[in-house]
Chains A and B, each alone.
Chain A
Amino acid sequence: LTHLDPSTPISPEDARALWLSHEAATHSLSQQLTEHLRLILAPTLATKLRGDFRTGKRLNLKRIIPYIASGYKRDKIWLRRSQPSKRSYQVMIALDDSKSMSESGASNLALKTLTLVTRSLAMLEVGEVAVVGFGDEVNVAHEFDKPFTSEAGVRVFEQFGFEASKTDVRGLVERSLDLFAEARRKGSSAAGEDLWQLMLIVSDGICDSHAEIQRLVRRAQEERVMIVFIIIDSSGPPSAQPAPSMHPATAAEGPVAPQKEKEKQKTSILDLQSVEISPEGKVVRWKYMERFPFRYYLVVRDVRELPGVLAGALRQWFGEVAGSA
């Protein structure tokens, strides 16, 4: 890729060519994801009978005695099948623009993931899509109130160079919660519609400040913003790997990749170790993912895995949250 214009990370021509090639390459996967999401995100058809109406299908027996007692005045005694309120969504995709993405070779798979997800959501027409980039700071690459067309995709691609010298995930989550709160206020969704907010973080998963992130993840939960962390694991050969894992389901560490040669092999995030050395020189080591601060995460090594695992994560979340609501 040539860098003719220093103000943008990649030239508009390169961004367009890259977007179009990813769009073509992920076309059938986008359709697959769209089908999955249609089933998950659409509200289930109303099957429950609800009270209290003056006419209806069936009598609400609990209302009969008050009805008689009121001298036949409290006459809302009928049950009906009611339509659920229409759901709408605001989905934010946060793409890691830090240098570790290009160094580890995760950036290309990350851009493909972004293409796949944004195309799929556009086909679904369930709501608004925003894209932000994060590294040392947060850049809003596409706002909620604009339609996400192919042209918008090209504009987004122009804003990613994977050169940022930090990966401030804490700052990202904090800023995103503000953006979500603002979007809820402005929301173009009609009154009475049920608004759901979802954030997908696409990153190699390496970040600091886990304790502070955990606090923010709890705040997100309180503000009804769902966060799914999609970890792009560019280690090892793609496709020939075991299925990606979904926390907290069985982490598919699977058969450990055979240690082939000792040359610079990449370490999978599932094998990555974190070290802490105290001032006295005491060494503590643990598997990085054991203390990963996000509850819902996926490890993806190949874009072809994405429709299935992303749908799985969302289905699980709806089972826990929407099911209880």
Chain B
Amino acid sequence: MELAAEQKVPIRLSTRDPSIQIAEETGVLLVQTSLNRLKLSALVNDLLHKDERRIPFDILINGKFLRATIDEFLTQNGISPETTLDVEYTRALVPPLNVRSF
């Protein structure tokens, strides 16, 4: 069953780091607005087929670091979920403390 009234937003993933480019042409993806950095990091790892050695990623939306959920980010920055978001991922500079939650 689909979760009730779950909102989705279109995103386009990119990175400036050639070593972590996604091979597949994913285009625009529709993702839940409830996702946070960890979930988006999990998505990028999945697209990179990193089943074992997962890389922790930092996530930037429109150039700003994502600290909460996408939903909260949109509200704080006055962005409508009707807009396709540019989502950039980079290797996390400082490994987060809760890596084990992957």
Query: Which residues of the partner chain A approach B32 to less than 8 Å between Cβ atoms?
Result: 275-277
- Specify which of B6, B43, B82 is in contact with A167 (CB 8 Å cutoff): B82
Pair A165/B46 contact, Cβ less than 8 Å: no
Pair B7/A273 contact, Cβ less than 8 Å: no
In the complex, A274 Cα to B7 Cα: how many Å?
12
Contact residues, B68-102 vs A (CB, 8 A): 80-84, 102
A50 an interface residue at 8 Å Cβ cutoff? no
**At the interface with chain B, which of A77-85, A114-122, A204-212?**
A204-212
Query: Which residues of the partner chain B approach A113 to less than 8 Å between Cβ atoms?
Result: none
Pair B84/A208 contact, Cβ less than 8 Å: no
Contact residues, A99-122 vs B (CB, 8 A): 99-100, 103-104
- Specify which of B25, B27, B82, B102 is in contact with A98 (CB 8 Å cutoff): B82
**Min CB–CB distance B4 → chain A (angstroms):** 8
Q: Closest chain B residue to A170 by CB distance? A: B5
Pair B5/A209 contact, Cβ less than 8 Å: yes
**Min CB–CB distance A301 → chain B (angstroms):** 16
Query: Which residues of the partner chain B approach A166 to less than 8 Å between Cβ atoms?
Result: 81-82
Q: Say whether, besides A211-B1, A276-B32, A283 and B82 are in contact (CB < 8 Å).
A: no
- Specify which of A209, A266, A288 is in contact with B30 (CB 8 Å cutoff): A288
Query: Which residues of the partner chain B approach A275 to less than 8 Å between Cβ atoms?
Result: 29-32, 43
Contact residues, B13-33 vs A (CB, 8 A): 25-32
Query: Which residues of the partner chain B approach A285 to less than 8 Å between Cβ atoms?
Result: 29
A248 an interface residue at 8 Å Cβ cutoff? no
**Min CB–CB distance B74 → chain A (angstroms):** 10
Write the residues of chain B forming the contact surface with A, with a CB cutoff of 8 angstroms. Answer: 1-2, 4-8, 10, 12, 25-32, 35, 38-39, 42-43, 46, 80-84, 102
22 A-B contacts, Cβ less than 8 Å apart?
A: A99-B80, A100-B10, A100-B82, A100-B83, A104-B84, A166-B82, A206-B10, A208-B8, A210-B2, A211-B4, A273-B27, A273-B29, A273-B30, A275-B29, A275-B31, A275-B32, A277-B32, A277-B39, A281-B102, A283-B42, A283-B43, A285-B29
Q: What 4 A-B pairs have minimum CB-CB distances, sorted nearest first?
A: A267-B27, A99-B82, A267-B28, A283-B46
Write the residues of chain A forming the contact surface with B, with a CB cutoff of 8 angstroms. Answer: 98-100, 103-104, 164-167, 206, 208-212, 259, 264-267, 271-277, 281, 283, 285, 288
